Every structure is written in structure tokens, then in C-alpha cells.
Structure 1
């Protein structure tokens, strides 16, 4: 196994760590990461620096160096440090190992320990190493589109790597999963590496075949060229490497899903956060028409019908000026909410519901309170592509989280509002393309520093909220799923994977595709029609229905749909297998399986689209016991069928759906009897 590396920077500490082939013999080699200093390659630069390796004991205040919110000091015991020191600069490498998954994440920090400016640090790649892959077959790189408000968000992609033809990836506009998802599976037939990026900004990753079994992988910031002032430090992205082996490439995807669920999913009381099943009033009340009266009325209608949701969802539009023109006005609209927002959360809590509230603190619109009172805290855009020119024309601004005063104010403001409003789930939205704000008028010798400071400030904002409110669930929304990276996954759930919502085919495709990479995601529904409702099923779910209905049939059907979701929701975070090809075609079927290997039980979903001519689809399952017998139950017909595991995997079974469009949900369990 070849060495790999991840870099991280925090406050005034420099940290760089190399992952060695033998975890028992940690080795920090300058061959596993790279940068230049005044044009000289890091391998030559570091040859003359002092090097020291140490196993770090958990400090009294772990956040003084750890580049993330730590759930416990035990997590910090996995860290090793290697530091390089010169007369001017320190470079510290931190490696965090995960022996249960054969995975490592590494971070690097640079710090200027002198009284004069440093030289130019550039082309920083926390991961720059050659990975050797075992096994037969060509080297294939599998990856995914990111979120861009398209029907094909998260579409699976793959390419065979050929010597001399490197593939390079970066997101669009500064949000980490806009355009491309920051996860990759580099594989041969039966083994490979998952590479993941821990950075909520503009990253860059390149994969270049050296020969038939070797690939050079580099990953870091897209643009970094800066000096450090005296006593200044700067962090760079982290990079994950997860080694996998198995039957095929899906083994790697499922090892990643399990790994993320164990180590990169927020936890409450020691267990992964369970996302909400929520009721939203926006099925019949638009964002800017919400009031104290109609929100409380919605809560009462949901509760009076014993609708089995657990959370009331207040989205955008509540603040003065509404959405989006009021972004930058932090207070509720006084006319619509004369008593503030606490009466709404009180109503939800009185009915046994948790309360979710939306915020968008990073965007500032012209004429708002922040725009007029603190223009010195705001960044302006420049260099926008034509499709984003309206940002500059319409006066959009970005609250600079790299500005200490701005960050302290907004953190204190939001934290106090979480307390005052009784917020259980903090929903954080972000509808800008920050790259064009970070790079506006950036000095030649400080390229990347504004982005670094902003991203450091963003993490500090979330970590402070978690410390101030230990039971708070944080939802990461950025025009849908445009900030889905390792740093955000560690801190937040994400309840809204795309703004391309409510199209059943789009929802089906996103479940089919995004489940290859992430174990916890979802969206919801605006209809109780089974085909449409089931198209949006996932770990999280919100319903924007017309709760004013007095039709008992509506409430009966809606309740049945939610109870069905509750019956199967546990499976969505388990192992995942696509059972049909990814397709957006209207004349096709699409199907998948979620399997819990511990319970030896699972879920199959199948959709016959509106123009699909055949009423039957034959599916072969994965992950079952050859000699075991499984009972399959169709949730529409309640019909049971017992089939041997070997037969289900080799020959499969048939699903019939007479309606087009139509859907089927099959649950199964080992042994006889209902699941």
C-alpha cells in the first residue's frame, strides 16, 4: 500500500501528515504531499528543515488545534503529528487514522514563526502521491456530477485512466459539490481507493495514470499562492484515502457509506442524528406570506389529525423584507410576527413536534440592515461568468466570515436566536457563488488567503453553535446539495439534496445516484400519490402538503404514506445496490436495493415510469446469504413470498406494476414471517 497524505491548518498551528503503508510505522515523507516555496519544490525545501514526529496526547482544549468539531477526546487519540521547521516557516502534518476502515485523513498547516514575511508558498497539494493498485482489469475512475439544480444532479460518471491523459476536477463557483461531488473511487476489478476532499471551498483533484497499475493523485486548493505575515498561519484542504477490497467496485462504495456513517455523521447522545420527518406549510403558503397566525394554524391542523411527523419546518421568508430581498435583515418581519417567532415554536413544542427554522446568514442584499450598517464586513463579486452577472448588477454581497468582527457578530446573533426562538433544527442555506467574491481584488502574493480565512470562519461558526447548543441539529443547505464535503458532513446533516425538486424522475435518479456515495440524504414530497411520494423517500423527508384539507381520505392516505416511510427508513443508511441502470428516460424502469447485513433484511424500490411498455421487471438482489431463505413482502398487496438467497442473487425475482407510472416497495428478511 502506497503512502497518502492530507493537509490541515488551524489558527496559528502548522500541521501536515503523511499516511504510511504500515500504520504501525508512521512515516511522514515529503514524497506524499507537495508545494513550492519561492519556486523551489517542497522535496528540496524540506530536505534542509528540522523534522520531528510525535504522538499527540489529547489536549485540555482540543479545538485549539483540531480542524473540526470533536465529539470526544477519544477521537483525538488517533492523531499523529510530524512537524518541519525552518528559520521562517513551520509545516505541521496531522494524520488521523481509522483502522476499522483501513482509512486515513491528513491535514497540513503552514505557520510563519518569524518576524518577517515568508516567501511565496504556492501549488499546495496536501495529497500528491502515486497509488499502486492491485488486481486485474483497467484502472477506472468513478465519480459523480454535483448539484446544479438539474434533473441529472449527482449523475454517475466513469472514465478509464490512460497514461498521458490526466483528468482534473474542480467545483463550480466555490461551493464544494456544485458541478462535481468531492468523492472518487479509483479502482481495478476487485480493489481500489476512495479519495475524498475535506474542504468547503474551491478544491482541485487530478488523477494521472503512470502505468497500468499506478496512478498519481494530487488534491488541494485550486489556487494557492501566498505569503504569510509574521505569526500568521494558514490551513489547506484535508484529503481522505480509504483502501477497499471486494467483489466489485460497489464494495468500495458501501465501505465508504459505512465509514461516513460511523465517522462523518453528526451524533447526539452517542448515536448518529436521525433526520426529521417534517411538515412544511409551503404546500399552500408561499415563503413571503407566512405569518404567526397561519403557521400556528398549520401546526394545529397537522396535530389535530394525528399526522405522524416529528418536526414542523419553517423555511425562508420570515425575516423583514422576505426572501430573497431581505437577506441581511436578521429580525423577523414585525408586521407578520408581532411577537417574534417564539409563539410558533411554542405551538410546535406543545404538540410534541420539534421546530426547524431556516436561516441564510452569509448572503446580504442591497438596502438591508447589514448592507447599510456594516458595509466594511461585506465582500463584492467580480469576474463573474455571464450567467452570474446579475450578482454584480443587483448588488449582491457576501458576509465575510474571515473577518473576525463579522464572524463574531453573526455567530453571537444566530446563537442567541436559536435560544430565543426555541430552535431544534437549525437550517443553514447559502445561495451565492463565493469564489467570485473571494478572488475579487486579491493581491498577487495573497491568492487563496481570503478563501482560507472564510472557510476557517465557516467551520468556527458551526463548531461554536454546536458548543453553545449541544443538542442542536444543523442542516446544511446550499441551493440544495452544493456543500457536500467531508468537513460539512462531520458537522451537519443535509435535508435538501437539490433545488430541482418534486419531479419524480429527478428524485428517483438522485436517490439512485447519490446513494452510491452518501448514506444519509433525502428530500420529500408535495403529493400523497404513491408514485410521487415514494420517489422522494430517504433518510430525511419533508412534506409540503395542503394541510387545510378536510377530506378524511386525504389524511388517511397521507398518514399511510408516512407510516410506510417509517417502516422502511432504517434501511436507507445501510448497504446500497443499484438494481437497474441509471436513466432519466420516461420509457424505462429504475430500481435499487438497500440491505442491512447485520439484520440480513432490506428494502427494494422499483418504479415503472409513464412510458415504460413492460409491466414486469426482473431483479437480482445482492448481499444475501446463499443458503438462507428470505421472505419478501409487497407493501401494496401484503403478499409474502419465500425465496432462497442463492436464487434471489443468481436468478432474481419478478416485480409487476400494472400502472404507468407506478411504484412498488418490497421489504424482505431472512427466515419466514413478515418483516
Structure 2
């Protein structure tokens, strides 16, 4: 069985079994007896240096073995310490481990009667982000020791690492034991789980194998070169349910893979008021004054694209206007659009701070449009990957700024820091609306396949690290076409405020956003989503659970209406904050089984904070549900059955209840498309 002890045994200097594999000059690398040295950094952090070819090819595992969590993570590096190019290293798998699985029949472990038992393991995974109503939905596949049903293979189709699937997986021996796995790579990856096929009575079918790494690698190491491979995170679940295991994983991610400020405090996804970058400063400043006068508790003003490029109108792409929304063609020029912002962004940023908010601004720094007039197109074409012939023919094409080139990365870092400091920008939002895969491929040669990607990914992570180092109290919003660059390493530096672009449409199924918050939250607790605002309380409430971006008055044509209910507006934002804060320190328990499979069901989620003996319950009677009442069974272990709890409802009711009364109680919602939020706290 996959266990912490098994992996620890592999990470010993004299272990014949390594947790990685590769081919060298077309043959499986013999790793059993290669020399290894352990270099201890501190109690949790150490390195294993393997001399695959002494004085030439080294594999370095940079390892963290956590003291208070059953988690080990490591990142492999390949280094050429010699004076000549190495042989060809190919199909490098940063994760390649094998274990003998327990024999099971149903949920019962068996030691005898092996002949009658079929070996089985289960794999959990989630769909990725494609601006769709099914984004992040959970999937499960049982693997058996029989040909045809013994293997699951997943890979992302391009360079966006979380488009097709999230790079997080659970491999379960049974309901109480398993391992959660994360791949830390902002590029193309592949992952597989294979159950050994064969008759158990003939000593077959007992083992399984888990593998993961870059989607393609076939390269020589040049003298003095050191290349990074995907990071691997393994969280072991032993005698722990899947739900409790996911809550432990969430707590681990919040503690060890979430951005923190200069004081060590967690940077929270904010409650945002969203505007369009082409929306003129004078109108945005008036909205800031309105927010201040009506005490709307937004934490940030989030300004999107359109603020840069030529001095001309750039309306929102959904806005009715005589002008075209040409923001994609402006990307690459970071001059301020003086039509919209004649005095730059500083007057707006001053008004934002006067209203008690921070200023979050959209950038898309790694895509360069051929029509943008970017100085990089003429001054540093060697930094760009793309189709120069198409540009010479006058076609609209994109180039990729190659962050694998240190000078290009340093230029970009200085550019972003300069704009943020000059214009009074507090937080950095990074978009990335192109698939880098064909650009990376175009930068490779036949004996250096994958190297452009390796250097780019490492440079990209360094770019974000440098931005955070310069602005330690600022956060990075990881957009990338809405949640398409999510992994455990980017989570250390950022969080997505737009976890999926599904909510960017003028019309979308709001109830699907509740699924996004439920299922992404199992792996990445810091995240946020958009919505069209507080004029529709049910629509707004469907977005509660993390960061929150209201587009209520985002652009021309969406101005405040006479008679707007500011009391309800303030109330919704207050509860959005409460739920966000609870999710970042509490455990999460879905209360309705598989609501994504039957839209006539209600949906409900409990967030419980054991350290405070309090929590929240979000309840939705969805638009297709005919049921006026739902009996909710809270997790019994979260409540003290004899204690008394103060209970407050969003709808206004306040009462007290005993713990045993709350383990199963009814909620009534007379009309479809309605909701309730319940806050309970021990007296």
C-alpha cells in the first residue's frame, strides 16, 4: 500500500528504489546502485544528490518532509557538472512509484482466499477549467486487475496545466487509506495509475504503479546546465476517511502553500468591486465615492483590461457601443490609455484608497500582440517566440515573451514594478490568454525537446517570486483565462480571483458556481469567482465561499439604478466576508450527496471551525427543485450534542439550539431559487 513509510524508504541514501525514472540514450536508466549524498538544510528540508554519471550527470531531489502533516514533496533538478553534453535523457518521470495493494472485497480487507478476490483501487480527479458549467466537477475511476480496466492515463492537451484536468489526484486503496498527489508544474504534464493485470492466484494483480511528469522530454544537458522538472507532492491518508483527508489537505495547503504578507499573515482573496479598464477614470472615481457614502464593505477595486495601449475608446466586450472592444490587440503595450485615464491611474488609485479599498489591476505580460506596437517587437525580437512571417504579412498574431531568457524576465519584472509603483497599484492580476505549447515546441531542437518549456516554467515562477519579494504585502491574482494555471506551486505565490471564465458570460448557470466553490476548494482553498452583483441576492449568494468579484456596475450601461437596496447590498457583502473567512480556517462538509448529478436536489455545505466551536451552513433550493423542505444531517463529530449554540439565519431569525438538535434539522424554503445561510456558535 502507498504509505509515508514506503516513500521515506525510497528517500534514503542507500535505497535501491528511487521515486523517479527516465531513459538514458534510449535505455531505462539503472538507478539501483548510483552514489547518493544527503545534504540536510534543516529539520524538514534536505537534498538527495545522485551521481548518475560521476562528475557529469547529477539528479538532485529538493525535498521537504513535513513534521506535522503526513506530506512529502520534492522537485527534481538535472545538472551537467561535466565539460561535454550529456547523452539523451528522455521520458523523465518525476514520479514513478509502485506498491502492493491490499486485497479487498467491497470494503473488507482479506488476507485469505486470494483466488476469489479481484484487486481494486480507485482514482479521484477533477475536470479543469474551460469556461464551462462542468468546470472542476469530481470524477472517479475504479481500476481492477483485469486487462482493459486496469489503467487510467490523464494529460493536459496544451501548456495550460489545469484546463483539461486539475493537477491533483487521489489514489485510494479503500475508504480509509490512500494518497493525494499534486503535480507542481505550470506546463504540460501527464499522469497515470496502472493496476497490475493478472490472476491473483498466480501472484499477479497485487501491485499498482503511479507515474507522472512532463508530457514530453528528450534532451541533452549542456555543460554547466541545470534544469528543473515538475514538483511532486504526496499526502498520505492512513486510517482517515476521504472527507477528513481532504480537510487535512486543505489545512496543509493553507499553512504551507498559500501567500502570506510580511507579517506572516495569510493574504485572503478579497471581496471586490469590479470595473472595466476602458471605463473612464471620472466614472470610476464617482463609483468609489458612492461606495464610500453607502458604506459598502468592498475590500478591493479590481480593474480589468482596456486601461492600456493606444489613446482611444476600449469598451467592455459585452457593452453596447459604437466602438470595438480591441483590448486583445492592445496587449504588449503598457502605455496608459489616456482617452480613458487622461492623468494616468494615480487619481483613481487615490480615490480607491480614500474609499477604504485596495487597487487590483489586470496585466497580461507574456502575450505580445503584433498589433500592439510593443517596443519588444523591434528592440528585442530575440526574446519573443512566434510567427514572424505572419507579422510581416500584416496578420494579427501573438508572440510569447520567453521568460526562460533571464534578461527578458528581468526586463518584465522591472516593468511591472515600475508601473505598480508609479500608478499606486496595490495588487497584481496576471492573465494569460494563449496556449504556450506551440511556442515552446518551436523553440526546441530535436535533441533539446522540452528544454524551452523547462526554462520558461522556472523563469515564470522566478518572475512571480521576484514580484512578491518586492511587494511582500501584495497578492498575485492568477487568472490565465480563468483558472488555467493552477497547481500547488503557483498556489504558494498566488490565488485565482476568477477561478473560471464561465462567470464572464452575460448569462450563465449561476448554480454551477456553487460546484466550482465546492470542488476546487478540496484542493485549492484560496480562490474566487465573479458574479453580476447584489441586485439579485440568489445570484450573488451562489458565488459565496471564497473571494468575490461583483460586476454590478462594471461598465457603461450598468450604472446604479434609482431605489437600489443598499441595505441588502451591505448585508450580502458582510455574509460573503464571513463565509470567506470561515473557509480559510475551517473544515468543509458537503451535506447533499452528488448535487451536481441531479439539479432537482437542494445543495448544502457546512463549514465548521473546530477551534472556535462555530460554523456556517449554506443552503440552496435550486430553481429546478420541487421540494419546499430539506432535512440536513450535520457531521456529528463537529458538534457537542449537549452544548447550546447561538444560531443566526441570513433571513433574520435568531434562536438557540442544542447540539443534538442540529445533527439533523429541517430547513424550509417555500420558493425555488432561494437560499439560506445559517451561522452557529457555541454559547
The TM-score with structure 1 as length reference comes to 0.87
Partner residue of 2:343? 339
- Asked whether 1:396 is paired with 2:390, we answer no
- Match of 1:352, SS state, is coil
Cross-structure match for 1:228? 221
TM-score using structure 2 length: 0.86
Alignment check: 8 A CA contact 1:35 1:121 kept: yes
| Distance in 1, Cα, partners of 2:67 & 2:16 | 20
1 CA distance for matches of 2:360 and 2:237?
38
- Choose which of 653, 660, 664 in structure 1 pairs with 2:676: 664
C-alpha contact 1:19 1:26 (8 A) present in aligned 2: no
The one of 87, 94, 102 equivalent to 2:55 is 87
Per-residue deviation, residues 260-298 of structure 1 (Å, max 9, x unmatched)? 01100111111211221111234xxxx53x222222222
Say whether 1:156 aligns with 2:138: yes
Partner in structure 2 of residue 8 of structure 1: none
What 5-or-longer segments of structure 1 have no aligned partner?
6-17, 58-75, 383-391
Give the CA deviation at 1:629: 3.4
When residues 27 and 608 of structure 1 are mapped into structure 2, their CA distance, relative to the original with a 3 A threshold, is farther
- 1:402-452: CA deviation from partner (whole Å, max 9, x where unpaired): 122322211110111121122211111111111121112632211110100
1:205 is aligned, of 191, 197, 205, to 191
Q: 1:19 to 1:658 in 2, by over 3 A?
A: same
Aligned match for 1:330, one of 290, 311, 334: 334
Give unpaired runs (5+ residues) of structure 2.
Answer: 108-119, 197-203, 315-326, 389-393
The 3-state SS of whatever aligns with 1:335 is: coil
The answer to whether the aligner puts 1:531 opposite 2:538 as a matched pair is yes
1:458 Cα deviation from its structure 2 partner: 0.2
**Structure 1: how far apart are the matches of 2:171 and 2:387?**
36
Structure 1 residues 227, 36: closer, same or farther in 2, change over 3 A? Answer: same
The one of 620, 623, 626 equivalent to 1:607 is 620
Q: Distance in 2 between matches of 1:135 and 1:548?
A: 63
SS of the residue 2:92 aligns to: strand
Structure 1 residue matching 2:269: 3-state secondary structure: coil
Q: What residue is the counterpart of 1:494 in the other structure? A: 496
Structure 1 distance, partners of 2:524, 2:357, is 27
The residue number in structure 2 matching 1:627 is 641
Query: Does 2:265 align with 1:276?
Result: no
* Distance 1:582-1:82 versus aligned 2 partners, 3 A rule: farther
User: Does residue 1:179 correspond to 2:174, yes or no?
Assistant: no
The offset of 1:514, in angstroms, is: 1.6
Are the aligned partners of 1:477 and 1:495 in contact in 2 as well (CA < 8 Å)? yes
Is 1:640 aligned to residue 655 of structure 2? yes
Q: Does 1:191 align with 2:204?
A: no
Say which is worse superposed, 521-530 or 431-440, in terms of deviation: 521-530
SS for the counterpart of 2:297 is coil
Are the aligned partners of 2:14 and 2:36 in contact in 1 as well (CA < 8 Å)? Answer: no
**1:451 alignment partner, SS class:** helix
Q: Does the aligned pair in 2 maintain the 1:56–1:81 contact within 8 Å? A: no
1:216 and 1:158 map into 2 onto residues whose CA distance is 17
Residue 99 of structure 2 corresponds to residue 117 of structure 1: no
- Post-superposition CA distance 1:431-481 (Å, at most 9, x none): 111112111263221111010011011011111111222222111111111
Question: Aligned ranges for residues 536-551 of structure 1 at < 5 Å?
Answer: 536-546=543-553, 548-549=559-560, 551=562
- Are the counterparts in 2 of residues 381 and 436 from structure 1 also a CA contact under 8 Å? no
- CA 131–273 in structure 1, closer or farther in 2 if over 3 Å, else same: farther
Shift in CA distance, 616/208, structure 1 to aligned 2, threshold 3 Å: same
Q: Which residue of 2 aligns with 1:240?
A: 233
Residue in 1 aligned with 2:318?
none
Q: Is the 8 A contact 2:16 2:31 kept in 1?
A: no
Give yes or no for contact 2:385–2:443 (8 Å, CA) kept in 1. no
State whether residues 78 and 227 of structure 2, in contact with CA within 8 Å, keep that contact through their aligned partners in structure 1: yes
Query: How many residues are aligned here?
Result: 621
2: CA distance between counterparts of 1:376 and 1:123?
A: 29
Q: Residues 280-318 of structure 1, C-alpha deviation per residue, up to 9 Å, x if partnerless?
A: 234xxxx53x22222222222211222111211111110
* 1:53 aligns to 2:57 (yes or no): no
RMSD: 2.5
